[in-house]
Amino acid sequence: MPVGNADVTERSLLQSIVEVARSVFGAAAASVFLLDAETGDLVFEAVAGEGEDQLVGSRFPSGTGLAGWVVMSGQPLLVDDVTKNLQFARDAAESTGYVPSSIMAAPLIRNGECIGVLEVLDRGSRPRGDLSDVDLIGMLATEVALGLELVVKLRWLTGAQQAATAGSDGDLGVLSRIAARLPAATDPVASTVSRLLATADDLLAGESAASPGALR
């Protein structure tokens, strides 16, 4: 599959996930940072809400702020008042054009290593079911990591192997089961979760059609 198409697919999947995160938490914004292996920077790869028109592609040193702490520790965090947290980087936040009051973040773990961060800014207070907010953002971070792993796998699998991966016990099945546990009491949340899974389906279909193995 041409790299350009694969990059578009990856961005679509990440964008769907940050939209789900923003809807689930009723947040001002949600974003995914990925680590640039060459520079070590954290790069905005997808943004929903505040900053979505200008932040994608922006980068910060990986040790910056609360996202940097999550990368280094490999642990999720929830900060209800950033003014009381020493790790909060106000200068970096101001440079994005939006300074939040609260931040929640979770590491994206793949093969035992942190490859980025899912971050939610200024979440709302509406009910979100019986899971804690930290549990929920951890589940969404798992979706991000699984989705990225799915992109990587499908670039190299044959058509038959891709079909097997799409089965109920494959990565897409895991994504579906995680999404089913997310609270979907409101139409916006239900529609964004549906779009997430539709994007994953499109990813499978597009990769299968473009795969050399699928043409044999």
Whether the Cβ atoms of residue 150 and residue 203 lie closer than 8 Å to each other: yes
- pLDDT of 129 reads 56
* Bridge partners for 42 per DSSP: 35, 60
- Classified as helix, coil or strand, 182 is coil
Distance (Å, whole) CA 139 – CA 129: 14
User: pTM for this one?
Assistant: 0.75
Across 5-21, b (16+ Cβ under 10 Å) vs e yields ebeebbebbbbbbbbbb
User: Which has more confidence, 178 or 131?
Assistant: 131
> Could you read off the pLDDT of 95-134 as tens digits, one per residue?
999 999 999 999 999 888 899 999 999 998 765 555 688 8
> Could you read off the pLDDT of 128-156 as tens digits, one per residue?
555 688 888 888 888 788 777 776 665 55
Least Cα distance to 19 among 124, 150, 152, 120 occurs for: 120
Amino acid making up residue 135? D
Q: Which two tokens stand for residue 61?
A: 């040193």
User: Which has more confidence, 131 or 33?
Assistant: 33
Residue 186 has pLDDT above 50, yes or no: no
> Domains of the chain: which residue ranges?
3-215
Residue 55 has pLDDT above 90, yes or no: yes
- pLDDT of 7 reads 60
Whether the Cβ atoms of residue 46 and residue 18 lie closer than 8 Å to each other: yes
Whether the Cβ atoms of residue 14 and residue 46 lie closer than 8 Å to each other: yes
> Could you read off the pLDDT of 161-175 as tens digits, one per residue?
444 544 444 555 555
Distance (Å, whole) CA 144 – CA 30: 13
Whether the Cβ atoms of residue 130 and residue 91 lie closer than 8 Å to each other: no
Q: What is the mean pLDDT of the chain?
A: 76
Whether the Cβ atoms of residue 2 and residue 88 lie closer than 8 Å to each other: no
Residue 63 has pLDDT above 50, yes or no: yes
- 36 HSE (CA, 13 A, CB side): 15
CATH superfamily entry for domain 3-215: GAF domain (3.30.450.40)
Under the banding of pLDDT at 50, 70 and 90, the label for residue 91 is very high
